[in-house]
Amino acid sequence: MAALLATVMSESQLNGWGWRLPFLLTLPLGLAALWLRLRLEETPSFERAARDRSPGTSERAAQDRGLQAQNAPQAKGTPRTEEVTAAPAREVAKAIALGAGRLMGWSAAGYTFLVVMPSYLQSTLNASFQQALIATVLANLGFAASIIPAGALSDRVGRRAVMVAGAVLVAVLAFPLLDLLQDPGSSTASKGVAVFVAGAVVGLMAGPGPAMLAEMFPTRVRYTGLGLAYALSNAVFSGCAGLIITEAIKRTGNIDIPAHYVVVTCAVSTVALLTLRGDDHRRALRN
């Protein structure tokens, strides 16, 4: 939409009021998303957990646990109740940190290729505003085209294989893709293919990513754990990407900084992703 407006409107119109149109057009999209969410049924595991947390069930379960604790002999070295309660909390915190690490490459590469790209192309490679926006459209088309196939493939071969492949491909292709964009002799078509491929390899991580996160947490903390891991990763590695890349280029004069950024984050993400089991996608969700 931004690319279309930049093409059909004058610069003064776009700066004066046209820039508001894409934001206003997101309102019906938000309402459509809300409508879809309200029509979705809860998962069976969540419904079971909700029944278990109902007042009558919870009181009986608490009484049963209390009686068991009173009647059971306290063996030497047995952890106290508060220590047992603290252990799952530590496990959840560890899972959140690990989840953020697994998403690091997706967050950094996705924001670099799909969001920071227009500013980089204009400020560093002297592309026009329209050219920068069209390049971003192509990158996002590649991203969207690979998400569903990547997710479906991960249901068959596992999250680890697909996400590691995506992270490794981003790290391997980052410098060649950037070199192609920087080369003044490269054709417009080849540059378009380059940004499309950049978006597509990020989609290999984005497709399985949400399912991988959901499978990391038990039902009672799944939404909180998933949300915190995703938000933490994106706040640090997406939200700061533009600032980091722009400041690093300004200080060093190295126009390859975006490639360095995604290579480092994808390398760390690959290490974290390798801790996944190959059959995690086939295991039953924990309550």
Length of the chain: 287
Per-residue model confidence (pLDDT) at position 82: 45
pLDDT at 159: 94
Question: What pLDDT shows up at residue 169?
Answer: 96
Res 68 pLDDT > 70:
no
**Least confidently predicted of 51-55, 159-163, 182-186:** 51-55
Please report whether residue 244 resides in a domain.
yes
Please tell me the predicted confidence (pLDDT) of residue 81: 43
Tens digit of pLDDT for each residue in 226-246? 999 999 999 999 988 888 888
Determine, yes or no, domain membership for 1. no
Is 252 a domain residue?
yes
What's the rounded mean pLDDT across residues 183-211? 91
- Decide: 207 and 150 in contact? Cβ < 8 Å: yes
| pLDDT at position 125 | 82
List, as one string, the DSSP characters of the chain. -HHHHHHHS-HHHIIIIITHHHHHHHHHHHHHHHHHHHHSPPPHHHHHHHHHTSHHHHHHHHHHHHHHHHHS---TTPPPHHHHHHHHHHHHHHHHHHHHHHHHHHHHHHHIIIIIHHHHHHHTT---HHHHHHHHHHHHHHHHHHHHHHHHHHHHH-HHHHHHHHHHHHHHHHHHHHHHHH-TTS-HHHHHHHHHHHHHHHHHHHTTHHHHHHTTS-GGGHHHHHHHHHHHHIIIIITTHHHHHHHHHHHH--TTHHHHHHHHHHHHHHHHHTTS-TTGGGSPPP-
Mean pLDDT over residues 65-88, rounded?
A: 49
Which pLDDT does position 263 carry in this prediction? 95
CA-to-CA distance for 174 and 177, rounded, in angstroms? Answer: 5
Average pLDDT value for the chain: 85
Residue 147 lies in a domain: yes
Tens of pLDDT, residue by residue over 251-278, are 999 989 999 999 999 999 999 999 998 8
Residue 121 lies in a domain: yes
Q: Which domain holds residue 232?
A: 98-279
How many structural domains is the chain composed of? 1
* Stretch among 50-54, 115-119, 215-219 having the lowest mean pLDDT: 50-54
Query: In this predicted structure, what is the pLDDT of residue 40?
Result: 87
Whether 65 shows a pLDDT value over 70: the answer reads no
Evaluate if residue 147 carries a pLDDT over 50. Answer: yes
Would you state the pLDDT for residue 108?
Answer: 94
pTM confidence score? 0.78
Looking at residue 49, its pLDDT comes to 78
CATH classification at residue 107? 1.20.1250.20
pLDDT tier at 123, thresholds 50, 70, 90: confident
